[in-house]
Structure 1
Amino acid sequence: MGFLSVLSMAHALIEDRVRKGETVIDATVGNGVDTLRLARVVGSQGRVLGLDIQQAALVTARRRIDAEPQDGLGSVTLTLRGHEEMEAVLPPPLHGTVGAVMFNLGYLPGAEGELVVTHADTTLVALGAALRVLRPGGLVTVVLYPGHEGGDVEANAVETWAAALPQVQYQVMMYKFMNRKTSAPYLIAIDKRESKQTS
């Protein structure tokens, strides 16, 4: 038996961390694979907020979600907005309560015509927002795809940003297959540490 794929590892980390009934965010909906997984994890009392700048992505994701048995799925709100706008989209009372934020960077698989890709400038803004809306003990997962044009620049920027996060507040992990070509996708996961109580 081999290791988990990068995406499967992201899902496993989320399933281990997220609590039933929580609010979670899919910052890059794409075809809705992560969105659906999050809806299952939070359960019927939970809530998923999904963002994407492509209407086609939201349509595909909604079809995927609606095709599933709805028992046990959290409510899913899909919004035509960029991931860097998550704080504006998320109701203020929920800031600081989010259990997890998932990012699957790159481009929409199966998209026709000119590719719309994520970029380092907006991605770094979105990652900062993700840490602010996250609850203590919450998790951010970022799947990076350095293989397409500009993907390596974005991946390097995310790595540099993540490596500079203060250790007292965050734990940062990288999951990567070392003997694959450098363009292979990999995962960065960020754990927002819970505050230690002093007596």
Structure 2
Amino acid sequence: MKNYQITEWCSHFIRQQVKEGDFCIDATVGNGNDTVLLCELAGSKGKVAGFDIQEKAVEETRTRLKERGLDSGAKLFCCGHERMEECLRSDPDCAKMTERAEDGYGKVSCIVFNFGYLPGGDHKIATKAESSVEAIRQGLTLLEKNGMMSLCIYSGGDSGFEERDRILAYLKGLDSRKYLVIMSSYYNRPNNPPIPAMIIRL
């Protein structure tokens, strides 16, 4: 790893998870860093769907993907991530992501979340507790066996603590027979450091 910032920490595990041809979702596109990474890892045979409620984030990410020749494998939606399953199901290019196998598992290898506000953007526009928990719930049903969900959970400052507390409570209640939840902590850092989390669908 280049450093131990939360985004680099989570990217380390994303790189180990995603392989050529995978289906992936960036549930909070933001500045597009994770979308680009997922597209690079999934390759020309894979597919990446990205969601963000801010048109600016979607357009800037689309531009970044085009500049890198990665746009053909990506589909971006300007809407809240709590609508991910609805949007994927209604889009011909992404509908396969919502299909379930006979054993009930989905087809998505990796889903990435960064909760909070867009870095460099309007701090008044941020993810919210209710819609974020719903997006996590939907995403978990889309994961394939041994699929992974990566979460960067920010709190304090402008965004407060409600979303963090609701997400952590939801993760704590997940069925341990179906999901493995791994929490990390910047244990000696002050000022409400972010929380990296991983969920593996068993």
Task: Name the TM-score, length of structure 2 as normaliser.
Answer: 0.88
> How far off its partner does 1:129 sit?
0.2
> How far off its partner does 1:2 sit?
8.6
Q: Judging changes above 3 Å, is the alpha-carbon distance between structure 1 residues 154 and 90 closer, same or farther for their aligned structure 2 residues?
A: same
Q: Give % identity.
A: 32
Secondary structure at the counterpart of residue 30 of structure 1: coil
Following TM superposition, the consecutive aligned residue runs of length 4 or more in structure 1 with deviations greater than 6 angstroms are none
> What amino acid does structure 1 have at the position aligned with 2:113?
F
CA distance in 2, matches of 1:8, 1:110: 18
1:136 aligned residue:
145
> How far off its partner does 1:55 sit?
0.3
Secondary structure at the counterpart of residue 65 of structure 2: helix
More divergent stretch after superposition (91-100 vs 17-26): 91-100
Pick one of 108, 111, 116 that aligns with 1:101: 111
2:92 aligned residue:
none
> Would you say 1:110 and 2:120 are equivalent positions?
yes
CA distance in 1, matches of 2:160, 2:200: 24
Deviations 1:160-191 (A, max 9, x none): 11111111111111122100114211211100
Contact 1:6 1:175 in 2 (8 A): no
Contact 2:39 2:46 in 1 (8 A): yes
> Would you say 1:187 and 2:199 are equivalent positions?
no
Pairwise CA RMSD: 1.9
Secondary structure at the counterpart of residue 161 of structure 2: helix
> How far off its partner does 1:3 sit?
6.1
Secondary structure at the counterpart of residue 90 of structure 1: helix
Q: How does 1:7-156 map to 2 (within 5 A)?
A: 7-68=7-68, 70=69, 75-91=73-89, 92-95=95-98, 96-112=106-122, 115-156=124-165
> What amino acid does structure 2 have at the position aligned with 1:191?
I
More divergent stretch after superposition (127-136 vs 7-16): 7-16
More divergent stretch after superposition (20-29 vs 179-188): 179-188
CA distance in 1, matches of 2:14, 2:162: 26
More divergent stretch after superposition (162-171 vs 89-98): 89-98
> What amino acid does structure 2 have at the position aligned with 1:103?
F
Number of positions where the alignment pairs a residue of Structure 1 with one of Structure 2: 190
Gaps of 5+ in 1: 194-199
Secondary structure at the counterpart of residue 121 of structure 1: helix
More divergent stretch after superposition (49-58 vs 12-21): 12-21
Task: Name the TM-score, length of structure 1 as normaliser.
Answer: 0.89
CA distance in 2, matches of 1:6, 1:111: 19
Secondary structure at the counterpart of residue 44 of structure 1: coil
